[in-house]
Structure 1
Amino acid sequence: MSPHIGNLSFLRFINLRNNSLSGKIPQQIGHLFRLQHLNLSDNILEGVIPVNLTYCSELNIISLRSNRLMGNILSELGSFTKLLTLNLATNNLTGENNFVRQVPASFGDLPDLRWLGLSNNNLESYSANDLYFITPLTNCSNLEILDMSLNNFGGVLPNSVANLSTNSLQILALDGNRLSGQIASSIGNLTQMFQLYLSENKLEGSIPPSIGNCKNLQYMDISDNSLSGDIPPQLCGGVSEFQLPACPIKGSEPRKILGRKQKLIIALVVGCLILLSFLLALYWRRKQEKKPPSAVSSINFLSKVSYETLHQATSGFIPNALIGSGSFGSVYKGILENEENSVAIKVFNLQQKGASKSFMVECDALRNIRHRNLVQILTCFSSTDYNGNEFKALVFKYMSDGSLEQWLHRENQSRSLSLHQRLNIAVDVASALYYLHDHCEQPIIHCDLKPSNILLDDDMNAHVGDFGLASLISATADSSLNQSSTVGITGTIGYAAPEYAIGGEPSRQGDIYSYGILVLEMFTGRRPTDEMFKDGFNLHNFVKMAIHERTMQIVDPAILAAIEEKAPAAKGKEANYINGETEAGEENINYVNISEMNPFVRKCILPVLEIGLACLEKSPKRRVKMQNVTGELHRIQNALIGVEIRRERPKIRAK
């Protein structure tokens, strides 16, 4: 790293992470007195942290994670009164001096510190009875994330843990140390904590009942200790195997403070409102029934455009503007006059049978729905072209990063979706389906969910599009079989539910089946129409037969390659299955213990594949509901956060 960086005295933001920077951090960096953000993580920098860095008094973020830095953690770092994040994880740093390798006491002078990452260094407590290693941090009143895992802290878990920021601490990671004795009962004071990591220590005794006070706790890893005794009765979650009761829903019980008169008044008011709503709905429905049907009158025009406008936006619908095509038409990229952003214009081929009806179905489906994970429609257009021919088009907000299909199966794999991105896309699509099925005024069945109909914006957020086969169902119907409109065969081969092949009507369960196929395709990298799937063998069977015994063989190699870069190689047999291949002499091994799996696989990929299989039950009634899918995926996202906090951290053995 060049010392000349010190000449850039107006720099406020430096992000050089994930490069191959080597050598020492130059002392001249201290000349950047305006610097607020410094990120040099994921490089091969060595030497000590320069003392001159403390001259950058405006710093609020310092990240030097995953380098080869050594020497003391400067006590002078406690002078950064504006510091929000300090991440020094995965280096070879020690404490204040060579005799006491502890957290500098000055860290207690960081009042605004939110995130402190000191994991995977050479910190230790020098006395078996020492409670000092956590004490300096008890003055950090705004601390939210504390990660001191994979060091050599010994002795008992100090009671001073109760003096951490009880109103803000959300994640506490002390795993991979040498902590012994019982878990301090004072840990129950951390009521805002939602992730706790104490695994791979020497803890013993029972889990303190006070842990039940941590009402926000969602993830607790206390594996690989010597704990005994009963689970505290305050835990909940509805897990039958552990005899845990379901968690109470806040606010579900009526307020006891209301007197009888107050309850009576509320009941009367609610009853009147219900009656009034019913009368208004009845009046509105009769008024709508009196209106004559019109092909376009029901469409909400969000902006006025002409055929000339669309023609100019696409330079005459030239081939260079074509970005896609489907069963009923083609999609062009265009720029409308006086519009800053590009648009996608779906032009219907009205010579194709069913195209005109598809236009109306899509307009009706999209006119009253608004959701962040649905493609945003700007207008529906129906008129004539320059030759007097009928012309119909839909204008959408342009999605700059193309379709999920292109990302999953592009020939050039230099850019592929990461595990985190795939999980986010799965959540986005599930959220969109949950909205369409259960939260629309008139529920909608998409009927053609597949990767080419999932579009990505420039932030890689997923948006479900193409409602040309959508089915509108009655909001009051108990079944989703009461459709008002559909076009031809429902769905696409490979993604359509099996009941559709024998004349089954569009249903929520049909969309859920398509979603299950989509999830398996995202995480295995295999299309359901792959040539390997024939004679009754399909993507569903491919995953189901191998999910627990040969998980690494069925996962998309692009995901595994990214995991290999982020985290240490898995221990045990699993290392032989990277990229779906076995090393010489290992051909006959077909079982990998779940406990030996890479944590990314065990805590994220495996449960996601299980969700996909739950969506593919042969009986539609047994398929999991989208409400449950979204909830489970959010839980997996939280688990992935916990894994990423501890990524790229080789184990440090106790001395």
Structure 2
Amino acid sequence: MESAFDHGNRAIGADGSPLGSGKPEDLSFLCSVINSSKLQKVGIGNNKFGGVFPKCMGSLSTTLTRFSASINEIIGEIPEEIGNFSNLEVLHLGANSLSGAIPSNLRNLQNLAVLILNQNNLGGTIPSFLGNLTKLLELYLEGNNFHGQIPSHLSNCRSLDQLDLSENNLSGAIPPQLIGLSSLAIILNLSCNHLSGVLPIEVGNLTALTAFDISNNLLVGEIPSSLGDCIALTSLRMGGNFFHGSIPQSFRWLGGIEDLDLSQNNLSGQIPAFLAIFHSLKLLNLSHNKFEGMLPREGVFKNATGTSIIGNNELCGGLPEFRLPTCISKSFESGKIHMVILSTFVISGVLGLALILAFIYLCWLKKKVTEQVSSSMDDSRRNVSYGTLLKATDNFSPMNLVGVGSFGSIYKGILEENQIAIAVKVLHLAHHGALKSFIAECDALKNIKHRNLLKILTVCSSSDYQGSDFKALVYEFMDNGSLERWLHPNASSSHGNELPKRLNFVQRISIAIDVASALDYLHHQCHTPIVHCDLKPSNILLDVEMVAHVGDFGLAKFLVGSSLDSVANQMSSMGLRGTIGYAPPEYAMGCEVSREGDVYSYGILLLEMFTGLSPTDDTFRDNLTLHSYVANALPKQVLEITDNILREERESHLGPYTPPHWLSKSDGIFQECLLMVYNIGVACSYEVPGRRMSISGVTNKLHQIREKLFALGLHG
């Protein structure tokens, strides 16, 4: 075993080596290293070690951070002496023949992040003290003989993102506190137990969860509609229970689902048509229920091998491979045809009337500008004079020009009255749409207030010294400029001597959280929801503390009378909104703006922030997009597609020394966080609006990523 020591006796590594004979004394070699005061890691997994853990284990160094002996032939009980390793972060004893209960001394492992005891013969109840291990990220106890109820104390593990208690003898109800633990982001598996009662509505809190399995239990009642809030799910298995009622309509939000199993329940009603438009859905099992009506013929229902509907005797139609009876035609079909024809005439008339009204509106618009601007700004934002802005910007000197947009130029200035630094956006009124942009921005900003929105200080709506119309918006000046200048300094900077700008991992996550928080406020917390319509790096400004502020509301739109449902299917006469590369594809087809459109732009922005590639980069040709580029690379090429600055940060954090035979935990978490970011970006930028992630779910998941990075010692 000496050859398996690293320099300084910090680690013992024998993972995967053909060591051990299955004899009782196999693990006695551990006693030879009890004097290694610097020992940090022991890895002897995937071997043939037999026997029991020796008593001398209690004398191993207290500096031990990782102990792995999985996939061996070890018997006996887990030694209580393991509780002496107060610095232990990973304990992996899975796939052995260990028996007895989980020792009470494990409560002392307050730094434990990963506990894997799966596929053993452990018994007794799951101890409630596991809930006191508040740093726990992963808990795997599946494939044992645990009985009794699931302890509600596990909900105290606020960082827990992976929990597997399947294949045990657990009974009783699912604790609402646990099923509502929003940190669970990767897997929650409670299958193959004897759990009873209803599925708590708190399940809707699992908005970041990707895999949920409660199959083969004794659960009853209807499927709670709140399950539709778990929009990050890719696998949902609920088969082998006693659920009744219909499939909730809220499931329409689970557009990223790949594997859905509702088999062997008492579900009834018609199969929802929205399942046929879930492009990610590859496996669908609805067998042995009481579904009725017509079987869809599109999407997953075109795949007879990936879809199972046997045991539903009231179904009809579908592809011939399903061997279902032909559906009886309904008498109202002819009536529907007449309604379609009538609707066509009505829509044509409405569109004609809309064109007339639009012409009248354009004639009236310019006359009302001054009145509208006045009503848009409260007393604290009175008009400032042209002369004041002229003096503040040194006659709009090119030296003070900090940016040029579609409808205006932005200058840095200093107000003489109070020496406040300001950014002045001077509208190019000769440009088509500039006047409308000015009004839209005033309207959007007059009643909103959020720490991540660019604050407007005042406006100027008057004439210049030549008598021409002059309109400008005055904002707080953001010391660190736009996100565009940080992501692409060479392309966006007009200052040749400017030092390269570098954003680390935590800074990028924090900026992403700031932008998501701003969107969540605009979409869901304003009295009238607002869609920004032009989210991109140049419209995100960073203050002196690197807090992000979303600006430029020149294309913003109010969703007047909107509900929580998307308005993306309503037709718009306003043409394309947004910027090429960031505007969602449905806008190009004439669809009305929507919250989902902003989410698409956000997804592209997030992918750009971590790959360092603009969506209009020359890399993206022949139908290759930033979305598909990232989606095709995941999960194996997560580092290859990442910005070089972040890869350098990873190498710097790992340091020059990595022990042999060990996969660095830090590197694993670093890459896991990157993968989570890319999955969010991809989930936000799907072509189909209904499949996109909710912005509130995005914010929640990004907070979890930042907490993981903080735990690694990474900071902004």
What's the TM-score once normalised by structure 2's chain length? 0.54
Aligned partner of 2:476 in structure 1 is: 397
State the SS of the aligned residue for 1:195: coil
2:702 matches 1:615: no
Equivalent of 2:518 in 405, 428, 432: 432
Aligned partner of 2:672 in structure 1 is: 603
Over 3 Å counting, the alpha-carbon distance change for 1:391 and 1:308 in structure 2 is same
Q: Work out the CA distance in 1 between the residues paired with 2:449 and 2:124.
A: 49
Equivalent of 2:700 in 631, 636, 649: 631
Over 3 Å counting, the alpha-carbon distance change for 1:440 and 1:567 in structure 2 is same
2:291 matches 1:351: no
On the 8 A contact 1:148/1:174 being kept in 2, the answer is: no
Aligned partner of 1:215 in structure 2 is: 155
Which string of whole-angstrom CA distances, capped at 9 and with x for unpartnered residues, describes residues 207-265 of structure 1? 99565313232434889x9998467864525967645986654999xxxxxxxxxxxxx
2:560 matches 1:474: yes
Over 3 Å counting, the alpha-carbon distance change for 1:187 and 1:456 in structure 2 is farther
State the SS of the aligned residue for 1:219: coil
Aligned partner of 2:135 in structure 1 is: 195
On the 8 A contact 1:402/1:455 being kept in 2, the answer is: yes
Q: Give the alignment of 1:519-530 within 5 angstroms.
A: 519-530=606-617
State the SS of the aligned residue for 2:461: strand
Deviation for aligned residue 1:370: 1.0
Q: Work out the CA distance in 1 between the residues paired with 2:703 and 2:554.
A: 30
Equivalent of 2:592 in 505, 515, 519: 505
Larger mean CA deviation between 405-414 and 391-400 belongs to 405-414
On the 8 A contact 1:295/1:360 being kept in 2, the answer is: yes
Q: Work out the CA distance in 2 between the residues paired with 1:157 and 1:571.
A: 30
Deviation for aligned residue 1:523: 1.4
On the 8 A contact 2:506/2:714 being kept in 1, the answer is: no
State the SS of the aligned residue for 2:686: coil
Aligned partner of 1:335 in structure 2 is: 414
Aligned partner of 1:299 in structure 2 is: 376
Aligned partner of 2:581 in structure 1 is: 494
Q: Identity over aligned residues, as a percent?
A: 40
2:393 matches 1:324: no
Larger mean CA deviation between 597-606 and 233-242 belongs to 233-242
Q: Work out the CA distance in 2 between the residues paired with 1:482 and 1:380.
A: 35
Equivalent of 1:360 in 414, 431, 439: 439
Aligned partner of 1:534 in structure 2 is: 621
Deviation for aligned residue 1:515: 1.1
Q: Give the alignment of 1:38-57 within 5 angstroms.
A: none
Aligned partner of 1:81 in structure 2 is: none
AA aligned to 2:372 is A
AA aligned to 1:297 is S
Q: Work out the CA distance in 2 between the residues paired with 1:571 and 1:247.
A: 45
State the SS of the aligned residue for 2:633: coil
Deviation for aligned residue 1:468: 0.7
On the 8 A contact 1:469/1:487 being kept in 2, the answer is: no
Aligned partner of 2:486 in structure 1 is: 407
Aligned partner of 2:709 in structure 1 is: 640
Q: Give the alignment of 1:219-234 within 5 angstroms.
A: 219-220=159-160, 229=168, 234=174
AA aligned to 1:611 is I
Which string of whole-angstrom CA distances, capped at 9 and with x for unpartnered residues, describes residues 283-320 of structure 1? xxxxxxxxx98232321242443223222221221111
Q: Work out the CA distance in 2 between the residues paired with 1:230 and 1:497.
A: 49
Over 3 Å counting, the alpha-carbon distance change for 1:129 and 1:534 in structure 2 is closer
2:104 matches 1:159: yes
2:421 matches 1:421: no
State the SS of the aligned residue for 1:526: coil
Which string of whole-angstrom CA distances, capped at 9 and with x for unpartnered residues, describes residues 572-593 of structure 1? 9999xxxxxxxxxxxxxxxxxx
On the 8 A contact 1:443/1:473 being kept in 2, the answer is: yes
AA aligned to 2:157 is L
AA aligned to 1:354 is G
Over 3 Å counting, the alpha-carbon distance change for 1:485 and 1:351 in structure 2 is farther
2:644 matches 1:557: yes
Equivalent of 1:312 in 382, 385, 391: 391
Over 3 Å counting, the alpha-carbon distance change for 1:183 and 1:624 in structure 2 is same
Deviation for aligned residue 1:431: 1.4
On the 8 A contact 1:443/1:475 being kept in 2, the answer is: no
On the 8 A contact 1:371/1:432 being kept in 2, the answer is: yes
Which string of whole-angstrom CA distances, capped at 9 and with x for unpartnered residues, describes residues 42-96 of structure 1? xxxxxxxxxxxxxxxxxxxxxxxxxxxxx999xxxxxxxxxxxxxxx99xxxxxx
Larger mean CA deviation between 631-640 and 520-529 belongs to 631-640
Which string of whole-angstrom CA distances, capped at 9 and with x for unpartnered residues, describes residues 325-347 of structure 1? 10111111112234364221111
Structure 2 runs not aligned, ≥5 long? 1-35, 42-57, 68-76, 93-97, 206-367, 491-497
State the SS of the aligned residue for 1:357: helix
